[in-house]
Structure 1
């Protein structure tokens, strides 16, 4: 499956791998040794886009050290995020010009670079007018510090409103979106302030061909075989993913995996990568094996019939498309 091309605002075109390396787990110095090995393996397998965020502890610093020691800044694109409320004041918005500028400069310093390809707002504050947000992001583009701007955990209505304002005022528009998305639907978002890609958002992506960078594309291991309806030990999984619809999707993914000689988790990842718009799966792999399996899954081609069968409640699990 060919990887989609991504147009940056500086005229540069990058072709990003379907598997994006998520680094939210690279949270502390204790993770550094394994983190560096995972980064090396990711590039060896052909990956070229790293997802991180100012909120992710020491993740940006570990990535910066890796970029410096491996001398590979030209081999990868960076997607980082700012504007997340602080842990001390989780209800206080941080989308002001001052906060966003501080976050971006801190990220650039951690990476020891003066430019990141993709920059997203990590959270939204719907009480804040988009007119107070978009000029700051446009300036990041104009200053040559950011290649493209996007959103993480924004609704499609807010993204559209922001882009309408930007278009009318000749400012840079959002050109990618980073919601939670997987084959398993969430009963509710796993964390406060998160936005999951439901059907209305997917329809918006189809209509506008906006790239989607999916966090939690494997539904926190729901398709791994570790969970069953009568196993309720993990309360977070029960509350977020346990539903008749998702058990049906797991059964179908398992049957399709048998036909394709892969795992249900790989089917779930392939589902994310086979959307009718540019789509990328952000994988928080802890082992080299998990990374290798993700790249294998990203190369699985699912046709429209298979995609429809996996999610349509009216279609039974009998037979495999």
Structure 2
């Protein structure tokens, strides 16, 4: 598997990043138990992957515990990333010095390690001065608890303001951003990707299968299978889940999925692999988050990184998915916290 430097840093990461949001039992949706999560992590490392991403929010800390136990004896070979800002249990939230200090220490305990390679702000905090946040994060780096810094779900303006704030306090800047990016969600092309290029920030993109719409399982005029992801979300009590699923299953997205299925059939590949391969080859993308629930899904996802898409296929996907690009409002994140 290919490896690239993350932004303007010396940190090398694999082109595929293993996302772990599906590891655990806390959300009541289909997920991977600890045994399967361990097999997925082992197969990912065996395939040459080195980059694993998690967050304290996932399954209320259970995911970090699962990842930590799975990495015992091989921690030094992994680029381990986690995130803080969101509430876990009865804890607070935000990017204040108080909350981030508590959040990082709790994550390190759950992960069973004394440092993380990449620590990320999970979302912007309008209630905390960004200078306080960047000075706090710099303290983590100086203390040896964190090697590099990143953020997730920031707008272009928030990203640039953070870099300026780091310079003002004489601190460590961000080297990465986690934004949403897929054939059905291309808004980062307008402002976020240019800002990342200008400021030397790598991208680790998520949501690349459009919530499952780009797997080819959903079609015009057909109700989702109750056992599918969209089927479960449509019938779930999680606030916003039903609304989010319906917003994804719109005519435009299903048109894109239909063309994707046609392209995949012509190439003899799975639609998901083609969708991932399209994202992986986009300018400005450093690493692509995948979130398999099984070893079989992992192998299907990894096939994307060996898939050479013909230019004609890329042009067809570009055309069907192009739309007027507007500002990213973070609505995906707020409805489905990562």
User: TM-score range, shorter-chain basis?
Assistant: 0.7 to 0.9
Distance in 1 between the 2:146 and 2:106 partners? Answer: 14
Runs of 5+ consecutive residues of structure 1 not aligned to the other structure:
187-195, 316-321
Partner of 2:164: 164
Q: Does 1:294 align with 2:301?
A: yes
User: Paired residue for 1:139?
Assistant: 139
The counterpart of 1:16, out of the listed 10, 13, 18, is 13
Q: 1:151 to 1:7 in 2, by over 3 A?
A: closer
CA RMSD, Structure 1 to Structure 2 (Å): 2.7
Residue number in structure 2 paired with 1:189? none
Report if the CA contact (8 A) 1:8-1:148 is conserved.
Answer: no
| Greater CA drift, 125-134 or 36-45 | 125-134
Deviations 1:157-216 (A, max 9, x none): 111111112123321111101122222229xxxxxxxxx746322333344452211222
- Residues 245 and 206 of structure 1: CA distance in aligned 2, closer, same or farther (over 3 Å): farther
Query: Which segments of 5 or more consecutive residues in structure 2 lack a partner in the other structure?
Result: 27-31, 225-230, 235-241, 323-338
In the alignment of these two chains, the number of paired residues is 299
State the match for 1:150 in structure 2. Answer: 150
**Is the 1:8–1:117 Cα contact (8 Å) retained in structure 2?**
no
Deviation (angstroms), 1:15: 2.5
Question: Partners of 2:301 and 2:321 in 1: how far apart?
Answer: 29
Alpha-carbon spacing, 1:265–1:126, altered in 2? closer, same or farther (3 Å): same
How high is the TM-score relative to the length of structure 2? 0.79
In the TM superposition, residue 101 of structure 1 has moved relative to its aligned partner by: 0.7
Q: What are the residue-to-residue correspondences of 1:1-321 with 2, within 5 Å?
A: 2-6=2-6, 13-28=10-25, 31-56=33-58, 57=60, 58-68=62-72, 71-86=73-88, 93-185=93-185, 197=188, 199-233=190-224, 234=231, 235=234, 236=242, 238-302=245-309, 306-313=313-320
Question: Counterparts of 1:94 and 1:36 in 2: how far apart (Å)?
Answer: 31
Q: Is the 8 A contact 1:23 1:51 kept in 2?
A: yes
Contact conserved, 2:97 with 2:133, CA < 8 A, in 1?
Answer: yes
Structure 1 length as normaliser, TM-score?
A: 0.83
